Amino acid sequence: MEENEKSLLWNSSFSVGVQEIDEQHKKLVEILNELVYLVGKELKDEKQNIDVTVKKIIEYKTIHFATEEKYFKQFDFDGAEEHIQKHREFSQKTGELLADFGSTGEKIHLVELLDFMEIWFVDHMLNMDSKYKECFKQHGLK
């Protein structure tokens, strides 16, 4: 996949020290970059691919959130409530932006959706996911 100025690049500051979760984050970066690539193309030519990719992101984030939340419960993680709330906000906001794109079919809404997801995702990994690092480590995850 070609890179462009909107492509997300993985770097070690994103790591939460748990292989399973780092791999899920990398996979999400990869699918987001697929969308970056498609958004750079002619919308009418890529409509179907865009729909497939957006669906992949939504499905995969659901799996990913469920993984983190499973461990929160298992380890009785202190910050669970706040963190789960952030996941819910993401799902709600992306749902709204997706509905805007679905009803208008306008690229601007797709760009808005992509920008939101990219900014949210990086910020969330660095500022929220990093908070469970210590807890997960103490419970032997790696």
Give the residues lining the site for Fe ion (CB under 5 A): 68, 129
Minimum gap (Å) between residue 100 Cβ and Fe ion: 24
Instruction: Using alpha carbons, select from 78, 62, 63, 60 the residue that is nearest to residue 133.
Output: 78
Q: Considering beta carbons, is residue 50 or 125 the nearer one to Fe ion?
A: 125
Q: Which residue is nearest to Fe ion (CB)?
A: 129
Minimum gap (Å) between residue 101 Cβ and Fe ion: 24
Q: Considering beta carbons, is residue 25 or 38 the nearer one to Fe ion?
A: 25
Q: Considering beta carbons, is residue 4 or 92 the nearer one to Fe ion?
A: 92
For the four alpha carbons of 135, 16, 25 and 131, in that order, the dihedral sign comes to positive
Q: Are 32 and 117 in contact (CB under 8 A)?
A: yes
Minimum gap (Å) between residue 106 Cβ and Fe ion: 30
Which residues lie below 8 Å from residue 46, measured CB to CB, with a gap of 6+?
38
Minimum gap (Å) between residue 108 Cβ and Fe ion: 28
Q: Are 141 and 73 in contact (CB under 8 A)?
A: no
Cα radius of gyration rounded to whole Å, the chain: 16
Q: Considering beta carbons, is residue 100 or 116 the nearer one to Fe ion?
A: 116
